[in-house]
């Protein structure tokens, strides 16, 4: 029963689950097993119960596993003030449901001049230094697209 900012109903159907390594097994079970065995803790964690459940979502949400989600070992390396610090909002329970990219895009990648290839420039850095310098860079940016196509769940 989701609605957009104008109060209109959102008619989109997700077709994939995007998650990190900690939820890989769960996402794969949702996609491929018709009767997975679920385990859970009772009370303060002394007793573990397991039982088989019927999976109505088998084959419906393709799992996409990313090494960038829930990876607390990743460190920032772009801005001096953030260098060496972990990326924010990393969580072992974070996952996303996303719609097919064939309909619309939840975010966009834009390249300067529409060219996805990097720019390569040569230069002579110092007249006293033998050789030529090479500078390679790629101009791109991300921007939000249709935010109704991807839903985040922190798992809390």
What ranges do the domains of the chain cover? 14-103+146-153
- Quick one: pLDDT at residue 61? 92
- Quick one: pLDDT at residue 90? 83
Angle (CA) 90 18 31, round 5°:
135
**pLDDT digits 0-9 by tens, 3-53:** 777 887 777 788 899 999 999 998 998 899 888 777 776 766 666 777 788
**pLDDT digits 0-9 by tens, 8-19:** 777 778 889 999
- Total residues found in the chain within this entry: 156
Report whether 107 contacts 142 (CB < 8 A).
yes
Mean local confidence (pLDDT), 77-83: 84
Q: Give the distance, in angstroms, between the CA of residue 42 and the centroid of all CA atoms in the same chain.
A: 31
- Quick one: pLDDT at residue 141? 80
Report whether 102 contacts 149 (CB < 8 A).
no
The residue whose two tokens read 């097994």 is 25
Helix (H, G, I), strand (E, B), or coil: what is residue 78? coil
Mean local confidence (pLDDT), 66-83: 84
pTM: 0.62
**pLDDT digits 0-9 by tens, 138-150:** 777 878 777 778 8
Phi, psi of 99 (to 5 degrees): -90, 165
- Quick one: pLDDT at residue 1? 63
The residue whose two tokens read 């990743």 is 74
């Amino acid at each position: 029963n989701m609605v957009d900012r104008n109060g209109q109903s959102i008619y989109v159907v997700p077709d994939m689950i995007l998650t990190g390594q900690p939820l890989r097994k769960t996402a794969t079970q949702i996609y491929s097993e018709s009767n997975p065995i679920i385990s859970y803790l009772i009370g303060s964690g002394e007793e573990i119960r397991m039982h088989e459940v019927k999976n109505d979502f088998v084959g419906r949400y393709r799992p996409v596993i990313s090494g960038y989600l829930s990876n607390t070992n990743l460190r920032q390396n772009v801005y001096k003030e953030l260098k060496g610090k972990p990326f924010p909002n990393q969580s072992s329970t974070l996952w996303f449901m996303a719609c097919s990219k064939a309909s619309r895009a939840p975010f966009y990648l834009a390249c300067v001049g529409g060219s996805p290839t990097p720019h390569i420039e040569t230069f002579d850095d110092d007249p006293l230094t033998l050789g030529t310098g090479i500078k390679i860079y790629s101009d791109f940016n991300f921007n939000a697209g249709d935010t109704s196509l991807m839903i985040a769940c922190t798992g809390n």
